[in-house]
Structure 1
Amino acid sequence: MKALFVRNVSWITTTAVSLGLLAGCSGGGEPAPAAKSDSAKPADTQGAKANAPLKMQFLVPSFADVPDMNDQYWTEWQKRTNTKLDIEWVPSGDYDTKFDLVLASGNLPEILVSTSTTRPTLLNAIKQGAFWDLTPFLGDFSKYPNLKNNSGPNVWSFMKSDGKIYGLPRNRPQIDLGIKFRKDWLDKYNIPVPQTLDEYTAALKKIVTSDPDGNGKNDTVGVLGHGFLLADGDDTFLAAFGGLNPVYDKDGGLIRNWLTPNYTQMVEWFRQQYADGILSKEFSAIKKTQAEEMFSTGRAVSYVRNIWRDYTWEQDIKKVQPDAKVITLPPLKGPGGYTASLANPTYGGMYISKKVPEEKVKQILDYMEKTTTMEYTDFNYYGIEGVHHKVVDGQPQLTELGVKQVTTNANQVFAMAFNNKMKVLNPAAPKAYNDAKIKETEIYSQQGKMNPFGNIASDTWTSVWPKYEKEWQAMVTKAIVGQISMDEYKSYVNKLNDNADIKKAYQEYAKAYKEYFGNAK
């Protein structure tokens, strides 16, 4: 599954978004352009009209090669769902920028996918009336039992803004990310599988200083990441320092996770990894595609990514290092918890433009209800038997065509049914391998923590933090590489936490946390 370069996001000003949305919503309840075109076509009969495919226009992120909508997979999907999909695929690394530009223009697709429920431009668009309030449509969910019963834990709370449901969930497993490690290199140096952060560090230090690939250059990277700080790996390591638990200031405000003492403790830990030559020297500049290429060609020891990738990357590394074995480590015990972060049970949401006619909103909801089942989720994962997969030992295994056509992009156009195994299973792996993987990773649901800031928002934080974000990131990087002392970094964080606007944001976060997660501290 081919990842794409991540680029810096260009934030769109609130004013630009507001103007664009006002322009885009001026038509009130009138149909989107595509819908107008469709309605202008006379139907041959009432029956033919009723059975006509539902045409839907999406804007979605692309996490693989852009699919051919006429291939076997997408032809069958549209046949089974009686739909005609008009999808604009945007490379995932460019999606936030495109998302903001579309909102600013007001020229919204019928269904807009957001990869976050708390993105500032999204929340502003909701307030400006860009999307349908779905609360009266869904009601008590008696007409939508699949959407109710097959969605992830608490996701409908996360779909709310000001108490109203505006989004449809993109259900995703909570067991997802894990720390990958080269088990063959552990074996090579007679090192047991690490169980703690200290053992992890010791193992990495031994391996990176011993030229494990035998190329004579001693250039193997210990801990690999991409983006800032380690991107996918941040929450995994932060959980070991207790940083995914709510942390409050003396006034009862909920401190943003990046500015907690726990995060500072993690920064200090990475500072030592950097000094010891374990953390990649280019950690702040590596792109996702570069990191994937480095790990999959055997140039790194450890990397936090989706658990299902173990098998795929092991096969890739075997092409250059035949004895390669990739494992996901068990949750490592740290000073404040375990390296087990649970993913948000919804990867953002799907929002229906207010320009879509009310009757078509109901049709879109019917499509989502029909497809939010394990039957459709399994099809989404494996495709057509005999074409995209064959059954081996009672388990579907993707064919070569299946690997090509049934990619992560197939997940983007419906809610999916919640299933905690789907990010652990590798459809190309043997059944015995997948069965063992499921058993090994069950502990993640017991020891894992979810970052609450993926689902709660603060208007004050949204307006204030962009003023400090780049500066704070630079300070983190300087602290890790030793350009400033930890005392200097701590003083900087304390100064931010004493800022009146930031303290106000913490009060708003505390209120939102209570609303979404209850009174637990």
Structure 2
Amino acid sequence: MKRSFRKQVSWAVAPVLSISLLAGCTSGAPAATGTGTSTNTAKDSKPAAAEPVKIQFLVPSFAEVPNMADHYWTEFQKRSNSKLDIEWIPSGDYDTKFDLVLASGNLPEVIVSQSATRPTLLNAINQGAFWDLTSLLGDFSQYPNLKKNADPNVWNYMKVNGKIYGVARNRPNIDPGIKMRKDWLDKLNLPIPQTLDEYSAALKKIVESDLDGNGKKDTIGILGHGFLLADGDSSYLAAFGGLDPIFDKDGGLIKEVLTPNYTQMVDWFRKQYADGILAKEFSTIKKTQAEEMFATGRAASYTRNIWRDFSWEQDIKKVQPEANVITLPPMKGPGGVSVALVPPLFGAFYISKKVPEAKVKQILEYFNTTTTKEFTDFNYFGIEGVHHKLVDGQPQLTDQGVKEVTTNANQPFPMAFNNIMKVFNASAPKAYNDAKIKDTEVFAKVGKMNLFNVVYSDTWTTTWPKYEKEWQSMVIKAIVGQISMDEYKSYVDKLNTNADIKKSYQEFAAKYKEFFGK
């Protein structure tokens, strides 16, 4: 398959929701179930509706655990002809829980993996924990929505050893952005940064000031969560050219964390830490802590989904009324620009091999039924008059909508691909969304995707866990100054001479050629 490594994504400038789709979503008509039953059949000859399919899920939770009996979930299950039994795990703890569940062997019917290349997932696939869906999906003639409403390359990306084991969770390529408190830039008469150097200089001035007015100089410059900055790593690494394919002298594709570019980024963060810009506790901050810190006006910059700009700005205004949160434009770094595109999937759904084949087909039909624009629109706005109202032709969430139609609403179904999904904020005014979409349009043209979200290596899967924690410790020590950069470079060089890691690079290169035709 010929494919440019730099993602060239078609850009939808139309609003997420058309009035016609909205009408179809709020009429109360049941969603198609794929049974072939015509809604025009005479009442006395109409077959009885199929029983709702009961599905047990394990999924990550990015908001408060929902009440599955509320208006939104009651209507969703009615339209999808389903009864969902969902165990919600806080997103920050999800990968740990995921690994524990796989190790126990006590799998739910459907489990979400947030990455299609997670080592524990690949091990479980190789051990036969999940259904091979290849023949069941076939040419997708039985499940057309799963193919036509996804990115054209998704099903190729889903393959493990040439077979399909999961149903992709469709997501847009444009998603994370480096946020900045523009009101603080304005207070210091600083322009919006166009380069990493300007960004660092602006943040240094911010942390040396008392812009939050609390009488202390305790503002965090760069906030993150997890290791290293979690959601923010790829955006910064892109500016150092670390999302480009980088090969060793033997033609092996070097894992991005062991490239010279990543080392250069570590050195940059070391400088930010020394200047008091990077959060002192960056290596121990949890996601929920970081969200609370940014939403209460304690940090200048944080990298997360672009749609969050409006929501966090409203939160900060409760304590700092002049707050203005923006996503920075692509900033030029030594090897690229600070825009990371994400794969057109956020992991996938995997069906336990313990599930009978007949039930597997029912689950696939549920996924097919819900992979439509209508369901995705419903996922964003819920029921008209209950969860949203039309303002200037755009649905805008009501208070009940904000409460019930959260990010968790999109966890238990694939959704239809839409490249403005993570830019658009359903609570924001139309003018705000239109401007945000226009401002981030360039991301699709200049951003790059971390190819290791797609390519994988069996040898890396079994080898890297032996070194990952030690490597993470060395990164942190280098950033905080406990070891020199030369010591860190020597450590990385040693890893790159390891026979198993070098073998991994050859396998990565083969997968890269398979997926990208290079």
TM-score where L is the length of structure 1: 0.89
Q: Between 401-410 and 209-218, report the one with greater CA deviation.
A: 209-218
Q: 2: distance between equivalents of 1:390 and 1:420?
A: 23
Q: 2: distance between equivalents of 1:49 and 1:376?
A: 23
- How far residue 260 of structure 1 moved from its aligned partner, in angstroms, is 0.2
What does residue 361 of structure 2 align with?
362
The SS at the match of 1:90 is: strand
Q: Between 148-157 and 339-348, report the one with greater CA deviation.
A: 148-157
Instruction: Name the amino acid aligned to 2:369.
Output: K
After superposition, give the CA deviation of every residue in 1:279-320 in whole Å (9 maximum; x if it has no partner).
111111211111111111111111111111111111111111
What does residue 396 of structure 2 align with?
397
What does residue 232 of structure 1 align with?
231
**Residue 343 of structure 2 corresponds to residue 344 of structure 1:** yes
What does residue 94 of structure 2 align with?
95
The SS at the match of 1:251 is: coil
What does residue 175 of structure 2 align with?
176
Q: Between 285-294 and 391-400, report the one with greater CA deviation.
A: 285-294
Contact 1:173 1:345 in 2 (8 A): yes
1:84-233 equivalence runs, <5 A: 84-233=83-232
Instruction: Name the amino acid aligned to 1:305.
Output: R
Question: Does the C-alpha gap of structure 1 residues 326 and 375 become closer, same or farther in structure 2, counting only changes over 3 Å?
Answer: same
Q: 2: distance between equivalents of 1:476 and 1:422?
A: 34
Contact 2:92 2:286 in 1 (8 A): no
After superposition, give the CA deviation of every residue in 1:148-197 in whole Å (9 maximum; x if it has no partner).
11112411012111101111010011111001101111111111111111
1:282-431 equivalence runs, <5 A: 282-431=281-430
The SS at the match of 2:125 is: helix
Q: 2: distance between equivalents of 1:123 and 1:48?
A: 43
The SS at the match of 1:381 is: helix
What does residue 513 of structure 2 align with?
514
Q: Between 430-439 and 495-504, report the one with greater CA deviation.
A: 495-504
After superposition, give the CA deviation of every residue in 1:348-372 in whole Å (9 maximum; x if it has no partner).
1111222222222222222211211
Contact 1:252 1:510 in 2 (8 A): yes
Query: Identity over the aligned pairs, expressed in percent?
Result: 75
Instruction: Name the amino acid aligned to 2:310.
Output: Y
After superposition, give the CA deviation of every residue in 1:404-423 in whole Å (9 maximum; x if it has no partner).
11111111111100111111
Q: 2: distance between equivalents of 1:76 and 1:187?
A: 46
Contact 2:92 2:288 in 1 (8 A): no
What does residue 458 of structure 2 align with?
459
Q: Between 224-233 and 463-472, report the one with greater CA deviation.
A: 463-472
Q: 1: distance between equivalents of 2:385 and 2:355?
A: 38
Instruction: Name the amino acid aligned to 1:499.
Output: N
- How far residue 47 of structure 1 moved from its aligned partner, in angstroms, is 8.2
Instruction: Name the amino acid aligned to 1:436.
Output: A
Question: Does the C-alpha gap of structure 1 residues 312 and 284 become closer, same or farther in structure 2, counting only changes over 3 Å?
Answer: same
Q: 1: distance between equivalents of 2:107 and 2:223?
A: 38
What does residue 278 of structure 1 align with?
277
The SS at the match of 2:513 is: helix
Instruction: Name the amino acid aligned to 2:116.
Output: T
The SS at the match of 1:513 is: helix
The SS at the match of 1:51 is: coil
Q: Between 178-187 and 84-93, report the one with greater CA deviation.
A: 84-93
RMSD, aligned CA: 1.5
Contact 1:153 1:345 in 2 (8 A): no
Instruction: Name the amino acid aligned to 1:340.
Output: V
Q: 1: distance between equivalents of 2:311 and 2:305?
A: 11
Q: 2: distance between equivalents of 1:120 and 1:365?
A: 25
What does residue 480 of structure 1 align with?
479
What does residue 69 of structure 1 align with?
68
What does residue 55 of structure 1 align with?
54
Instruction: Name the amino acid aligned to 1:510.
Output: A
- How far residue 107 of structure 1 moved from its aligned partner, in angstroms, is 2.6
Question: Does the C-alpha gap of structure 1 residues 300 and 446 become closer, same or farther in structure 2, counting only changes over 3 Å?
Answer: same
Q: 2: distance between equivalents of 1:111 and 1:385?
A: 31
After superposition, give the CA deviation of every residue in 1:191-241 in whole Å (9 maximum; x if it has no partner).
111111111111111121122122221111111111111111100000000
What does residue 241 of structure 1 align with?
240
Instruction: Name the amino acid aligned to 2:123.
Output: N
Instruction: Name the amino acid aligned to 2:191.
Output: P
Q: 1: distance between equivalents of 2:278 and 2:99?
A: 34
Poorly superposed stretches of 4+, deviation over 3 Å: 46-50
Which structure has the higher relative contact order (CA within 8 Å, separation 6+)? Answer: 2
The SS at the match of 1:446 is: helix
Aligned residue pairs, count? 474
The SS at the match of 2:242 is: coil
Contact 1:225 1:303 in 2 (8 A): yes
Contact 2:122 2:461 in 1 (8 A): no
- How far residue 50 of structure 1 moved from its aligned partner, in angstroms, is 5.3
Instruction: Name the amino acid aligned to 2:438.
Output: K
Instruction: Name the amino acid aligned to 1:405.
Output: E
- How far residue 465 of structure 1 moved from its aligned partner, in angstroms, is 1.3
Q: 2: distance between equivalents of 1:232 and 1:439?
A: 23
Q: 2: distance between equivalents of 1:166 and 1:470?
A: 29
Q: 1: distance between equivalents of 2:80 and 2:223?
A: 41
The SS at the match of 1:315 is: helix
Q: 1: distance between equivalents of 2:357 and 2:48?
A: 17
Q: 1: distance between equivalents of 2:302 and 2:94?
A: 24
Q: 1: distance between equivalents of 2:48 and 2:164?
A: 30
Contact 2:463 2:500 in 1 (8 A): yes
Contact 2:123 2:461 in 1 (8 A): no
The SS at the match of 1:391 is: strand
- How far residue 48 of structure 1 moved from its aligned partner, in angstroms, is 7.4
After superposition, give the CA deviation of every residue in 1:37-70 in whole Å (9 maximum; x if it has no partner).
xxxxxxxxx9877521111121111111111111
What does residue 261 of structure 2 align with?
262
Instruction: Name the amino acid aligned to 2:458.
Output: D
Q: 1: distance between equivalents of 2:387 and 2:201?
A: 44
Q: 1: distance between equivalents of 2:124 and 2:47?
A: 37
- How far residue 251 of structure 1 moved from its aligned partner, in angstroms, is 0.4
Instruction: Name the amino acid aligned to 1:261.
Output: P
Q: Between 69-78 and 283-292, report the one with greater CA deviation.
A: 283-292
Contact 1:131 1:352 in 2 (8 A): yes
Q: 1: distance between equivalents of 2:141 and 2:47?
A: 29
- How far residue 100 of structure 1 moved from its aligned partner, in angstroms, is 2.4
Question: Does the C-alpha gap of structure 1 residues 458 and 57 become closer, same or farther in structure 2, counting only changes over 3 Å?
Answer: same
Q: Between 120-129 and 166-175, report the one with greater CA deviation.
A: 120-129
Q: 2: distance between equivalents of 1:221 and 1:94?
A: 24
The SS at the match of 2:441 is: helix
Instruction: Name the amino acid aligned to 2:147.
Output: K
Unaligned segments of structure 1, at least 5 residues = 1-45
After superposition, give the CA deviation of every residue in 1:136-158 in whole Å (9 maximum; x if it has no partner).
12212223222111112411012
